[in-house]
Chain A
């Protein structure tokens, strides 16, 4: 199992490195070279505007992965703080926060994305806001539960008895112990956010052409489904492959850390 995880991580790092280093231009159109098959100069062929598909996939990998990482990190920080505070506050305040979390968890990201775009305009900024609006909620729920669990431990009671204040307990005891489950959860959320971002871009609400993003590539490729189905299948494999890989990683981490 451990070796499998290492191999997966190695594949991911190699793909990211390749994506970062692949030098071919992904934006300039070459209308004379539309719909070319795989060749030495274009390993995955060209798209409907003559752009190198591998270059767009690589640029899309950079965008999708970094953007998703940023979104998940922001959600994790905000959600963990909210969960920690509500775990400490208790009472009515915590009940209100958890009720809000219950509602937000059930709100579809596509609808939030539509609302944000209605208020602002399509683009990556709106996408980030849409993901943040609901994405903090699952972290807040988990952090709340973990805070309550850690605070009721005997060693924390001991620390309180020798005079440790709430901030010290939170920073020295609760957060370090909550970190592993939160990281495992972040992996599972990564897949979810990746799909949300690609889905909203697919609908034209996120990344705008000619920005190479996986969802936007799928939407563009769909116009040529009859002539060049690979333009849909290639980004599709990238999206599903990445989300499966990260989900598996998250489940393994969750399983290993919860069994300890």
Chain B
């Protein structure tokens, strides 16, 4: 188990390092003069004083080699110093921390709905393929995958906040305010979970251990949930990377539309405001989360699926 896990996790730090290098090089790719950008953020001068510019260059270490600069930047980032925001002129790290908390709540709630609604409906749909329930679940899940967040959000607002004024249309902090954003964000992972679970359960029901379980006289319910659905779950876990991309991308749209102060919104505002330290910090945070999530998915799959474990050890 440990060897298998190590072998799979070993490339991940290198992925983080490569991504960090890209994030670090971003201002250079953009052709942005860091000294000027910093000075312009502090004093509103079009042409900075050369003496001040030279002092700042030395202060920021911009006169050293880029490898040295990168290691320094990385070292500071690891100790929680992510620099000062150009826009607010305050430290980036606390703002990022607060935004991460908000986004985490949003994402966890959406994933919870996906797990509680999506997985069981996928199993139920697989019980009788082409039956009435299957048609409803399949139809809804196709729609859930096809309707993007930027359409679902205004439509939900229109129906549940304007036509029938039940819920607030924007904001964050109270329970009613969370309903529409969470529903919007949950639609894609829920639909995807239902589709994947249905397909995996159908596959599992075709395996030879199912007739054996039936022959033993187990109830159909037990066969479905214990012998097919459990197996399907390992397959769905293996595909969890699909959920992540949709969830992060969706979170940006949902946070912007509903005015939620999460990481997606933070990054969006930073990009439009050309707030480089904030952009770099936001991207770095997303990369680290992506890597941690994929590691967690690997771990979950290896613990749940002995076949994957033996394959990884080979």
B13 at the interface (CB under 8 A from A): no
Binds B, one of A5-13, A47-55, A104-112, A178-186: A104-112
Residues on B with C-beta less than 8 A from A110 are 248-249, 252-253
Q: Are B147 and A240 in contact (CB under 8 A)?
A: yes
Contact with A along B132-163 (1 / 0, CB 8 A): 00000000001000111111001101100010
What number of A residues sit within 8 Å (CB to CB) of B?
A: 38
A119 at the interface (CB under 8 A from B): yes
Residues on A with C-beta less than 8 A from B244 are 106
Q: Are A118 and B26 in contact (CB under 8 A)?
A: yes
Q: Are A225 and B162 in contact (CB under 8 A)?
A: yes
A222 at the interface (CB under 8 A from B): yes
Q: Are A203 and B253 in contact (CB under 8 A)?
A: yes
Q: Are A203 and B30 in contact (CB under 8 A)?
A: no
Contact with B along A98-135 (1 / 0, CB 8 A): 01000101111111001101111000000000000000
A240 to B15, CA, bound (A): 35
Residues on A with C-beta less than 8 A from B158 are 225, 229, 232-233
Contact of A117 among B29, B147, B271 (CB under 8 A): B271
Residues on A with C-beta less than 8 A from B274 are 118
Contact of B154 among A115, A222, A243 (CB under 8 A): A222
A105 to B142, CA, bound (A): 21
Contact of B268 among A114, A236, A247 (CB under 8 A): A114
A52 to B1, CA, bound (A): 64
Assuming the contacts A103-B15, A114-B268, asked whether A244 and B249 have C-beta atoms less than 8 A apart, the reply is no
B116 at the interface (CB under 8 A from A): no
B168 at the interface (CB under 8 A from A): no
Q: Are A119 and B151 in contact (CB under 8 A)?
A: no
Could you tell me the distance in whole angstroms from the C-beta of B6 to the nearest C-beta in chain A?
A: 17
Residues on B with C-beta less than 8 A from A232 are 154-155, 158
Residues on A with C-beta less than 8 A from B286 are 111
B308 at the interface (CB under 8 A from A): no
Q: Are B146 and A243 in contact (CB under 8 A)?
A: yes
B282's nearest neighbour on chain A, judged by CB, is A114
Residues on A with C-beta less than 8 A from B147 are 240
A195 to B283, CA, bound (A): 22
Q: Are B283 and A115 in contact (CB under 8 A)?
A: yes
Residues on A with C-beta less than 8 A from B146 are 191, 240, 243-244, 247
Q: Are B162 and A229 in contact (CB under 8 A)?
A: yes
Could you tell me the distance in whole angstroms from the C-beta of A198 to the nearest C-beta in chain B?
A: 7
Interface-centre pick from B147, B150, B279 (highest chain A CB count, 10 A): B150
A143 at the interface (CB under 8 A from B): no
Residues on A with C-beta less than 8 A from B249 are 108-111, 199
Contact with A along B12-50 (1 / 0, CB 8 A): 000100000000001001100000000000000000000
Contact of B30 among A106, A118, A195 (CB under 8 A): A118
Q: Are B150 and A119 in contact (CB under 8 A)?
A: no
Interface-centre pick from A114, A198, A202, A229 (highest chain B CB count, 10 A): A114
A233 to B155, CA, bound (A): 8
- Chain B residues numbered 232-277 whose CB sits less than 8 Å from any CB in chain A: 241-242, 244-246, 248-249, 252-253, 256-257, 267-268, 270-272, 274, 276
Contact with B along A239-260 (1 / 0, CB 8 A): 1100110010000000000000
Q: Are B272 and A204 in contact (CB under 8 A)?
A: yes
Assuming the contacts A106-B290, A110-B249, asked whether A119 and B148 have C-beta atoms less than 8 A apart, the reply is no
Interface-centre pick from A111, A218, A240 (highest chain B CB count, 10 A): A111
- Chain A to chain B contacts (Cβ below 8 Å), 5 pairs: A110-B248, A229-B158, A229-B162, A233-B155, A236-B151
Beyond contacts A195-B148, A199-B253, A203-B268: 8 other A-B pairs, Cβ-Cβ < 8 A, are: A106-B244, A111-B249, A119-B26, A199-B150, A232-B154, A233-B155, A236-B151, A239-B148
